[in-house]
């Protein structure tokens, strides 16, 4: 491991990948930057991006369901075709919007270790058969380095059933937090076990890192439960108040406690700074 690639941390023999949230190696990078994705593909990074459905059934790399905040356009994404979206740029960088067709072509250049998470921002009803067909046409043959996630489990199930080799990621965090208020740790554990044993079994689950730590301190180790069911865990989204300065004492205390629980991956907007900060602390 080098101290500046932002790929992983080796903590006491346990390898933890650092996922580049919204295709960023640093908060100074614009979200969904093509140059960062190309670098990640070259290095074999784990990366995440968001997909919104277009009017023609394809997808575009955007977080919001409207164009106004992220792009030079305006209005709902779902009303725009590929040609219309291709004429727009991201607001904070000069490159045009990335489409699913672009992703399919770029993915063929990826390092074998690269993993690209598609966080689907629509529901199964929004995507519909046309969207499922489009996704399968562009990604079914080269799906080894893709994992899908999203808030709508019906969509994840539909894509997984159409493309059986596609890796699946579920994020039950919101439901778990709601359950804690009404059913305590027992309710959280029962729900998480149901997710882990879903009829379309997840390959990875995404859990808020603060929730993981709080639950563990109260006696419920979510990561251990997932591992017992053969499912990997991503802890999201970790940050530091001052990335250039490394971990504060309080941040290091929490980050060390998180690593001790052995997550498989940690999502961060600062993978390079996080790796550097870990190396500095671990060596003292």
Gap between the Cα atoms of 126 and 48, Å rounded: 21
Is 246 within a domain? yes
What string of pLDDT tens digits covers the 284 residues of the chain? 455 899 999 999 999 999 999 999 999 999 999 899 999 999 999 999 999 999 999 999 999 999 999 999 999 999 999 999 999 999 988 889 999 999 999 988 889 999 999 999 999 999 999 999 999 999 998 899 999 999 898 999 999 999 999 999 999 999 999 999 999 999 999 999 999 999 999 999 999 999 999 999 999 999 999 999 999 999 999 999 999 999 999 999 999 999 999 999 999 999 999 999 999 999 88
Domain that holds residue 203: 8-282
Mapping DSSP onto H, E and C, the string for 210-270 reads HHHHHHHHCCCCHHHHHHHCCCEEEEEEECCCCHHHCCCHHHHHHHHHHHHCCCCEEEECC
Containing 147, the helix (H) or strand (E) segment is strand 146-150
Is 88 within a domain? yes
Tokens 């629509």 -> residue: 122
Domain count, the chain: 1
Nearest C-alpha neighbor of 48 from the set 161, 123, 147, 154 = 147
Is 192 within a domain? yes
CB 33 within 8 A of CB 24: yes
- Angle, in degrees to the nearest 10, between helices 124-139 and 100-107: 30
Gap between the Cα atoms of 100 and 82, Å rounded: 9
Is 1 within a domain? no
- Angle, in degrees to the nearest 10, between helices 249-260 and 271-282: 90
Q: Count of alpha carbons within 13 Å of 7, Cβ hemisphere only?
A: 16
Gap between the Cα atoms of 253 and 160, Å rounded: 38
Is 155 within a domain? yes
Is 2 within a domain? no
Predicted TM-score (pTM) of this structure: 0.93
- Our CA angle for 166, 172, 178, nearest 5°, is 165
Is 3 within a domain? no
Q: What is the structure's pLDDT at 126?
A: 96
Q: What is the structure's pLDDT at 1?
A: 45
Domain CATH for 262: 3.20.20.190
Q: Which two tokens stand for residue 185?
A: 């740790």
In sequence order, what are the residues at sequence separation of 6 or more whose Cβ sits closer than 8 angstroms to the Cβ of residue 106?
Answer: 37, 38, 41
Is 61 within a domain? yes
Length of the chain: 284
């Amino acid at each position: 491991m080098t101290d500046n690639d932002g790929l992983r941390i080796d903590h006491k023999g346990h390898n933890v990948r650092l996922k580049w949230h919204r295709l960023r190696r640093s908060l100074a990078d614009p979200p969904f930057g093509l140059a960062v994705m190309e670098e990640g593909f070259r290095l074999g990074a784990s990366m995440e991006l968001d997909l919104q459905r277009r009017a023609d059934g394809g997808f575009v790399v955007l977080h919001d369901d409207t164009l106004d905040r992220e792009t030079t356009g305006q209005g709902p994404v779902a009303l725009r075709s590929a040609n219309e979206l291709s004429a727009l740029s991201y607001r904070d960088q000069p490159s045009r919007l990335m489409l699913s067709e672009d992703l399919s072509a770029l993915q063929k250049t990826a390092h074998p270790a690269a993993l690209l998470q598609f966080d689907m921002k629509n529901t199964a009803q929004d995507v519909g058969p046309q969207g499922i067909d489009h996704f399968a046409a562009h990604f079914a043959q080269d799906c080894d380095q893709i994992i899908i996630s999203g808030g709508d489990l019906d969509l994840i199930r539909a894509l997984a059933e159409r493309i059986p080799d596609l890796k699946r990621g579920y994020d039950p965090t919101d439901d778990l937090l709601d359950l804690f208020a009404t059913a305590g740790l027992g309710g959280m554990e029962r729900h998480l076990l149901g997710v882990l044993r879903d009829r379309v079994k997840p390959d990875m689950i995404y859990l808020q890192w603060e929730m993981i730590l709080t639950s563990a301190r109260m006696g419920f180790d979510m990561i251990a439960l997932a591992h017992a069911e053969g499912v990997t865990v991503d802890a999201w989204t970790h940050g530091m108040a001052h990335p250039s300065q490394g971990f504060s004492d309080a941040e290091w205390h929490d980050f060390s406690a998180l690593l001790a629980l052995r997550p498989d991956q940690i999502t961060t907007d600062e993978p390079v700074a996080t790796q550097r900060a870990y190396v500095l602390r671990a060596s003292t």
